[in-house]
A = this chain, B = another copy of it.
Amino acid sequence: MDTVSEVARLRHQVAGWRREGALVGFVPTMGALHAGHLSLVRIARERAAAGSTGGRVVASIFVNPTQFGPQEDLARYPRAPERDAALLAEAGCDLLFLPAVETIYPPGHATFVEPGGAARGLEGDVRPGHFRGVATVVTQLFQLVQPDLAVFGEKDAQQLAVVRQLVRDLHVPVEIVAGPTVRESDGLAMSSRNAYLSPDERRRAPDLSRTLFAARGRALHGETDPRLLEVDVLRQLEAAGLEAEYVEAVDALTMARAERIAPGVALAAAVRLGKTRLIDNVLLVDPEEATG
């Protein structure tokens, strides 16, 4: 696996692959990789290989400053580029793009991609400007890498919805593929931010996914009122000592609040555990059809 920081080298490499007829899959990350990221790389590899001979995978590591709020954890966000590079190579990544901040945001940068729709509510309310930063850097990275497909984790359900929306709204010729959430053996969704948890917090963190899966069980057994599930989950999180920022049943494609529990509706929640924010979501009812 090659690692490049310069745009010209990145473009040269990808253009070469494309001339050879390879599909190019892309996995954008902020580094501090875990098994969830590596599963996205494997999905990208399979999809690129299925659609072409010699499909290729590009991953990027870029801790994007514009998606962090002023009070957020940009400075202390975990960074381990050498370990990450070894993991990516092992997972079958062909090229790692590791740009400097000044490469992505040249002096005088002043153009942002502003998502409405799916960016409203949930994370969009708690983290003002977050999805503007996400939409901007994803658009930038798509222009830089020019992939045929890109894989995003379902764990960040609203981010996935925002990216699908921007690709459709701006007509970016990239296919968006969703990667299932990868969980620890006790159910905790993998996240680079789990590293912030103290041993005691880490023991309590799985209460988030446990509560969401219990609600999914109730939905599978006939509960149809999303408000009842939300309230129930809120109470259980409270009882477990997790401070909930939101618990909402939403359409996983549009992030619109669900009026009833129907195919494609997810239950999404954000909690604070000490100084750490955790988010998670589960589909209450699987979608009726693929929506790639």
- Complex formed: what's the CA distance from A111 to B169 in Å? 6
The 0/1 profile, CB within 8 Å of B marked 1, for residues 199-233 of chain A is 00000000000000000000000000000000000
Q: Give every chain B residue within 8 A of A118 (Cβ-Cβ).
A: 110
Q: Give every chain B residue within 8 A of A172 (Cβ-Cβ).
A: 143
A106 at the interface (CB under 8 A from B): yes
- Complex formed: what's the CA distance from A10 to B113 in Å? 25
Q: Which A residues between 1 and 37 are near B, CB-CB below 8 angstroms?
A: 7, 11
Q: Give every chain B residue within 8 A of A117 (Cβ-Cβ).
A: 108, 110-111
A254 at the interface (CB under 8 A from B): yes
B110 touches A171 (CB 8 A): no
Residue in contact with A171 in the complex, picked from B116, B140, B169, B170, CB distance below 8 Å: B140
A264 at the interface (CB under 8 A from B): no
B111 touches A165 (CB 8 A): yes
The 0/1 profile, CB within 8 Å of B marked 1, for residues 101-141 of chain A is 00011101111111111110000000000000001100110
A57 at the interface (CB under 8 A from B): no
Q: Which residue of B lies closest to A109 (CB)?
A: B169
- Complex formed: what's the CA distance from A116 to B113 in Å? 11
Number of interface residues of A (CB under 8 A): 33
Residue in contact with A115 in the complex, picked from B111, B115, B166, B254, CB distance below 8 Å: B111
The 0/1 profile, CB within 8 Å of B marked 1, for residues 137-160 of chain A is 001100110100000000000000
Residue in contact with A144 in the complex, picked from B108, B109, B144, B171, CB distance below 8 Å: B171
Q: Give every chain B residue within 8 A of A111 (Cβ-Cβ).
A: 113-117, 135, 165-166, 169-170
A260 at the interface (CB under 8 A from B): no
> A109, A110, A117, A172 — which one has the most chain B CB atoms within 10 A of its CB?
A110
Given contacts A114-B111, A114-B113, A118-B110, contact A11 B170 (CB under 8 A): no
> A109, A115, A169, A254 — which one has the most chain B CB atoms within 10 A of its CB?
A169
Q: Give every chain B residue within 8 A of A254 (Cβ-Cβ).
A: 108
A168 at the interface (CB under 8 A from B): yes
A263 at the interface (CB under 8 A from B): no
A274 at the interface (CB under 8 A from B): no
Q: Give every chain B residue within 8 A of A143 (Cβ-Cβ).
A: 170-173
Q: Which residue of B lies closest to A171 (CB)?
A: B143
Q: Which residue of B lies closest to A106 (CB)?
A: B168
Among all A-B residue pairs, the 7 with the closest Cβ atoms: A110-B117, A110-B116, A111-B169, A143-B171, A114-B114, A111-B166, A111-B115
Instruction: Tell me the A residues contacting B by CB distance below 8 Å.
Output: 7, 11, 104-106, 108-119, 135-136, 139-140, 143-144, 146, 165-166, 168-173, 254
Q: With contacts A110-B169, A143-B173 known, what are 8 further pairs, Cβ within 8 A?
A: A104-B171, A106-B168, A110-B117, A110-B165, A139-B170, A140-B169, A140-B170, A146-B173
